[in-house]
Amino acid sequence: MSRDVQPDGLGSQPPYLHAPYRASITRAPSRPLVAIPGALRDVTGPVFGHETVCATDADLTSQGRVSGAPVGERIVVSGTVRDDRGRPVQNALIEVWQANAAGRYRHVDDQHDAPLDPNFTGCGRTLTDELGRYRFLTIKPGAYPWRNHQNAWRPAHIHFSLFGAGLISRLVTQMYFPGDPLLSHDPIFQSIRDERARERLVSRFDWETTLPERALGFRFDVVLRGRDATPVEP
């Protein structure tokens, strides 16, 4: 498969090479991919220890506090994980990471001139329940410059990683927020040619999960395979 071919050939998944996203030029494979036959052990074997995931890991507003609550707008992010037949995927490990309200990650490589929040780690994890549901309490991330091109700004987003039984490899994607004017200028989001597939990465406001006087709710459902699969990073 060439560097500039869509992984699914339909434009509903991001390509390996999308020139406006400069990092993809060096990351894209330079030779045809080699298919490796799967084995039953790849999808049935143990993948992680469930006992290491705690209920508090899903509350990014309470972990890592030093001197008080994290700064920013509190939000609830929840949804379901399903397969191509609409069946819930239970006990899937979901990990998230994000910038703080000022648009800065707690990472040595992030030198953006924005304040760090000593009370916000920006990382969380949880397991889906028997109905494939998950829930996080966090802070709405801010946009940030990323020097991909002149005056480049990444829209507010949350990174998602999914792993578990039945998944041969870890799946990584990004959740965006409705009405963000930066989406039309973001080469990562725009690398997905199919408009309907792009919209599957945009969460929607959820009144049912909004906490009175505390946090607005946003719903982000993930479909692992099939025609309506959530776009994932190749």
Give the active site residues: 105, 144, 154, 157, 159
**What CA–CA distance (Å, rounded) separates 35 from 191?**
24
Nearest Cα neighbor of 116 from 64, 186, 180 is: 64
- Do the Cβ atoms of 128 and 89 come closer than 8 Å? yes
- Residues counted in the chain: 234
- Phi, psi (rounded to 5 degrees) for 79: 170, -160
From the list 149, 167, 161, 155, the residue with the least C-alpha distance to 202 is 155
Query: 169, 234 in Cβ contact below 8 A?
Result: no
Rounded Cα distance between 137 and 178, Å, is 18
Quote helix, strand, coil % in the chain, to nearest 5: 15, 25, 60
Q: φ and ψ at 227, to 5 degrees?
A: -60, -35
Helix (H, G, I), strand (E, B) or coil at 144: strand
CA distances to 78, 124, 137, 189, 201 from 217, in Å: 8, 17, 9, 22, 16
